[in-house]
Amino acid sequence: MMGELAYKVRRFSEADLESVIKINRTCLPENYSSNFFIDIYRSYPEGFLVAEYNGEVVGYIMCRVEFGFSEFGRFRLTKKIHVVSIAVMVQHRRKGLAKTLLTEAIKALDRKYGCSEVFLEVRVSNQPAINLYRKLGFRDIRVIHHYYIDSEDALVMARKLPLEEDLESEAG
Ligand code: ACO
Ligand code: ZN
């Protein structure tokens, strides 16, 4: 899937900001200020990656680490990776880029912070993304009513860490 040398996944750098903002605005209705991207990058650089095609940025993932209640119940406090935003330009989809971005970012943050789970919110209508997360072992946790600005519901999905070896090696 990632056999084509033209594709490469690497750490975000501040020189990529404009490209990432453009991809975010093209692919998603949830858009953020430059400061929001930069603040997350400076706090959690291991969790902010980009995918390149022939040197052009065509996808990104942005994550942070949060301390709060486990998504798996029992009011247990835990360190969780939050996948804040991920997108791949439409011409470069179904090549495994999102899967690689997710596995690489999760592994890097888990290595540094020792997290016990990873979670995210996704629009209940976003079947491609939900399929991707299920394939990576995420489970449906709960629905947040009217989460998005247009009042669509969010599905919270989560999985326990670490990622299994099969996912880690397949992503390389
Ligand atoms: N239909 C069905 N299954 C899909 C689809 C789809 N359109 N896209 C991905 N999948 C599943 C498949 O199982 C796929 O494996 P396969 O191609 O071998 O069948 C698997 O996910 C891996 O797909 P990737 O190629 O890694 O995913 P891609 O690089 O195409 O990116 C993404 C997926 C990020 C959801 C892309 O479609 C996109 O950018 N969408 C618009 C932005 C978006 O919705 N982002 C997620 C919002 S939620 C959040 O950010 C936390
Ligand atoms: Zn979120």
Which phi-psi region, left, alpha or beta, contains residue 103 (left: φ > 0; alpha: ψ -120 to 50)? alpha
Among 23-32, 72-81, 92-101, 163-172, where is mean pLDDT lowest? Answer: 163-172
How many whole angstroms separate alpha carbon 172 and alpha carbon 170?
Answer: 6
Q: Which ligand sits nearest to residue 66's alpha carbon? A: 2
In tens, the pLDDT along 69-94 reads 999 988 999 999 999 999 999 999 99
Q: Is residue 131 part of a domain?
A: yes
pLDDT greater than 80 at residue 25: yes
What pLDDT score does 97 carry? Answer: 98
**Residues 37 and 60: beta-carbon distance below 8 Å:** no
How many whole angstroms separate alpha carbon 21 and alpha carbon 38?
Answer: 11
Range of the domain at 33: 7-169
Query: Which CATH number does the domain housing residue 107 bear?
Result: 3.40.630.30
| SS3 assignment, position 40 | helix
What pLDDT score does 172 carry? Answer: 42
Q: Is residue 56 part of a domain?
A: yes
- The atom of ligand 1 lying closest to the CA of 59 is 39
Q: What is the DSSP string of 63-103?
A: EEEEEEE-TTSTT-EEEEEEEEEEEE-GGGTTSSHHHHHHH
Residue whose CA is at the smallest distance from ligand 1 atom 11: 132
Q: Is residue 55 part of a domain?
A: yes
C-beta 93 within 6 A of ligand 1: yes
Mean pLDDT of 119-137: 98
Q: Is residue 111 part of a domain?
A: yes
The pTM (predicted TM-score) of the whole model is 0.95
Q: Please, which residues have CB within 8 angstroms of residue 42's CB and are 6 or more apart in sequence?
A: none
Q: Is residue 2 part of a domain?
A: no
3-class SS string, 46-72: HHEEEEEECCEEEEEEEEEEEEEECCC
Q: Is residue 45 part of a domain?
A: yes
Mutate which of 9, 53, 63, 93 for ligand 1? The one with the most ligand atoms within 8 Å of its CB, which is 93
Is residue 1 very low, low, confident or very high in pLDDT (cuts 50, 70, 90)? low
Any idea what the Cα angle at residue 153 is, between residues 151 and 156, rounded to 5°?
145
What pLDDT score does 171 carry? Answer: 46
Q: Is residue 1 part of a domain?
A: no
C-beta 103 within 6 A of ligand 1: no
In tens, the pLDDT along 129-169 reads 999 999 999 999 999 999 999 999 999 999 999 997 666 55
What pLDDT score does 166 carry? Answer: 60
Which phi-psi region, left, alpha or beta, contains residue 164 (left: φ > 0; alpha: ψ -120 to 50)? beta
In tens, the pLDDT along 45-69 reads 999 999 999 999 999 999 999 999 9
Domain tally for the chain?
A: 1
Residue 71 neighbours by CB distance under 10 Å = 19
